[in-house]
Amino acid sequence: MKKINNKGFAISTIIYSILIIAILIMGMLYSTIAFRKKTSSDFTHKVEEELNNLEIKSYTICKKSTALHYSFGKLYSGDTLEVGDAFDCDVNGDGAFDTENERFYYLAPENGDTNSNNIVFIYFSNAETINENGVTYPVAQKSSSVAYDSSASGGVVTYQTKPSTAFSSLPSTASWKNTSLILPGDSENHKVNILDESGAKKVENFEYKDRSARFPRLSELKSALGITTIYNDTTHTNSVNSTTYNFLFERTDDFCSISNLSNCTYGYWIEEVSSSVKHNAWVFDAKNKKITTAAGNNKDDYGIRPVIVVDRKNVYYK
């Protein structure tokens, strides 16, 4: 009887051992499958990421931002492009989308034309240019100001102002080499007619020579703000809602403190000139929250806020 019990015990031990080995093998198989699944998932994710990066680098100048500068502008919702949507634009062509220094906001279709394939992005800050080895580079500045035309004078009423002084502070094609001006007419030389607020031609064939950005235009601001008329008289005020359109006010006067800055300029120059006073040009007056005119030789209050023109196919929304 004792032998039978020992024999039964031995058989039980073998069975339990086989079960334990089977469980261990199953555990190892499960772990291997899980590891392979994770490895495969990681590999797939990496491939997708690299393909996305390749897609971005192959044609993209601007891509949607994922974080705001404080509370300025808004994030692209994924439905339709809206005024004030934040984008990071690789303007210097280094392959990076610098959210701190290459932040732009969607302003409008070029010239406010909804049928245009070209769209306009406005820079987040006024810019001051520095010269290094013969190349002019724009630097985002909080308090940089410049005259629209230093030759303009209130005493010379027959003089037609033009942006001959302010133009030189715009980014050069050597610095913002990933963008170019898309202008009607002779785009090779970047020539454009300077208009007044009514659309009348005031200066013919002004040349944006060697510039990769320009001034914002009244037609684009009107489109962005949803207004039909810019008034050039003392009766009307071309007011701008600083809450709805706060992206236009970043790094200006009263809005400086939001960005932890101080002593910002009052606003920035617009491309158009005044129809009634030849030496005046239009400005975005952030201090008084309106679009108005100022003497072209005013070098203390207004700066340059570059805009770039980008083909829609060069904008990445994912």
210-245 residue pLDDT tens:
889 999 999 999 999 999 999 998 888 999 999 999
56-115 residue pLDDT tens:
555 799 999 999 999 999 999 887 899 999 999 999 999 999 999 999 999 999 888 888
155-205 residue pLDDT tens:
565 789 999 999 988 998 888 999 988 655 445 667 899 999 999 999 999
What is the Cα–Cα distance from 195 to 200, expressed in whole angstroms?
5
Judge contact between 301 and 265, C-beta under 8 A: yes
pLDDT for the residue 6: 58
Report residue 41's pLDDT band, with 50, 70 and 90 as the boundaries: low
pLDDT for the residue 51: 42
Report residue 44's pLDDT band, with 50, 70 and 90 as the boundaries: very low
Query: What tokens appear for 241 in the block?
Result: 């809602």
Q: Helix, strand, coil proportions of the chain in percent (round to 5)?
A: 25, 25, 45
pLDDT for the residue 183: 54
The residues spanned by each domain of the chain are 1-59, 63-316
Q: How many Cβ atoms from other residues are within 10 Å of residue 303's Cβ?
A: 26
Measured CA angle at 308 (ends 171, 255), to 5 deg: 85
Average pLDDT, whole number, for the chain? 83
